[in-house]
Structure 1
Amino acid sequence: MNTNRILLFAGGSLGQWAIRQIQPGDWLVGVDRGALFLVQHGFSPRLSIGDFDSVSVEEQAEIERKSQTISSCDPVMKDLTDTEMALTWALEQKPAQIILVGALGSRFDHSLANVQLLQKALAAGISCRIVDEHNEIQLMNRSLTIERSHFAHVSLLPLSPEVTGITLHGFQYPLEDATLRIGDTLGISNVLTSDTGTISIGSGLLLVIQSRD
């Protein structure tokens, strides 16, 4: 393992809240316009990656000057999104944790695709979550402990067609060996009643979304 945490800054919604996610020792990866955000805030990304079709020629030159490494590709002749390319690189570094920042935004197709990318990290056995100003999203397939935070609501949504054996402890609305299927809303807007809550499931893939208004 080369580093404890890798933060991927994608080109979705970003702001000062995103800067506050950075801790000493983190490896920073700029993904397309997310790289511009980092360099314009005084950071030198370990890697800036993408087709850079969302920045100007002058902005791309700035990214190239201020990044430690550049990985660019043709915007047409590619099969993966910039964020998937960045996540693939991050998984190869085998960190303890990957955090996707700027992975949600106005493009719902990209936002949904980025949520589904969590499955790649889960399959690799690496902790991964998406964070923005109002949400923190994780994917689980066995058990998960979450902590009380400024994200007051906790929602559970199946990513697989069915999730079975859902059991909650430390929540206002407990569940015991419950099943959720795609389209069910039973898991929306729960609340922690303890400093920590535990979620366990028997089978399937379950999205755990902590959020605030």
Structure 2
Amino acid sequence: MRAVIVANGPMAKPPLGTLVRRGGDLVVCVDGGAAHSLTLGLKPDVVVGDMDSIDPALRQHLMEEGVRMVEFPRRKDETDLELAVRYAVTEGATDLVLLGALGGRIDHTLANLMLLASPELEGVGARIVEGNQEVFLVREEAVIEGKPGDTVSLLPLTEDAAGIYTEGLEYPLRDGVLTFGAARGVSNVLLDPRARVRLKKGLLLVVHHHQERS
């Protein structure tokens, strides 16, 4: 099952249409992200969070429309987005698209990126989409799909990401090592519509900048 999770971070640009199909099996809004969801034409199925940022009138309207509200206390150990991701996975989602998760507070942005490495998401396809960019985690192997000329960065999320092999990128790695804190993996280039990355050790973030709409 596919879930679109709409967070409440600023959206400078709408997500690229090819990255987010209109709708999904489940649309989960993170508190005030419900407003973003409606702007994007996505009808919420559920709103998750402590309800401190959703407009009260919008909340009432959604409740009248039958949208479920899953409310949590403000004093808690998890972020609202983390709770929304957990909700979607518990409901059976195996493919997650997260919107509105970047571009706001730096601590929230970093926490949202690290959320991709949560053990709860092992075996679940999860990616963050912002405008023409998408970010996803590689634990063992992944395929990168786009257009030749797209920019692709590989960033280690652990001390070392080792045994890295790439196919279809301008600057190839063969049993390569990317070290946390070094920028070696930034700004590679997609050569083919499909590239492949695999690694033997560690975790790797893929940041894919799709070419702008013509």
TM-score bracket, normalised by the shorter chain, equals 0.7 to 0.9
Distance in 1 separating the partners of 2:143 and 2:40: 33
Q: 2:86 aligns with which of 81, 85, 88?
A: 88
Mapped to 2, the partners of 1:190 and 1:149 lie a distance apart of 13
User: 1:12·1:102 contact (CA, 8 Å) conserved in 2?
Assistant: yes
| Corresponding position: 1:26 with 2:25 | yes
Q: CA deviation at 1:204?
A: 0.2
How many residues get paired? Answer: 209
Instruction: Sort the Cα spacing of 1:122 and 1:167 in 2 relative to 1 into closer, same or farther, 3 A.
Output: farther
- Describe the SS at the equivalent of 1:145: strand
Instruction: Tell me if the contact between 1:5 and 1:97 (Cα under 8 Å) persists in the aligned partners.
Output: yes
1:19-168 aligned within 5 A: 20=17, 21-23=20-22, 25-39=24-38, 43-66=42-65, 68-75=67-74, 77-120=75-118, 123-149=121-147, 152-168=150-166
1:149-194 deviation digits (Å, cap 9, x = unpaired): 4982100000011110111111111111111111111100000111
Matching residue of 2:6? 9
Q: Which residue of 2 aligns with 1:198?
A: 196
Letter aligned with residue 31 of structure 1: V
- Contact 2:3–2:24, Cα closer than 8 Å, also in 1: no
Counterpart CA distance in 2 for 1:6 and 1:106 is 22
**What percent of counterpart residues are identical?**
33
Instruction: Tell me: CA distance 1:123–1:57, structure 2 relative to 1, closer, same or farther (3 Å).
Output: closer
Deviations 1:16-59 (A, max 9, x none): 72494243543111101111222456543111011121233333
Query: 1:153–1:43: structure 2 CA closer, same or farther, 3 Å change rule?
Result: closer
Note if 1:188 corresponds to 2:186.
yes
Residue deviations 1:126-164, cap 9 Å, x none? Answer: 111000103200101111111124982100000011110
State how far apart, in whole Å, the 1-side matches of 2:120 and 2:203 are: 10
Which of the pair is proportionally richer in helix?
1
Aligned-CA RMSD value = 2.3
Quick one: which amino acid aligns to residue 131 of structure 1?
V
d(CA) in 1 for partners of 2:201, 2:162:
5
- Asked if the contact 2:147/2:190 (under 8 Å) is kept, the reply is no
**Structure 1 runs not aligned, ≥5 long:** none
* TM-score (normalised: structure 2): 0.88
Normalised by the length of structure 1, the TM-score is 0.88
> Structure 1 stretch 30-39 or stretch 13-22: which is displaced more?
13-22
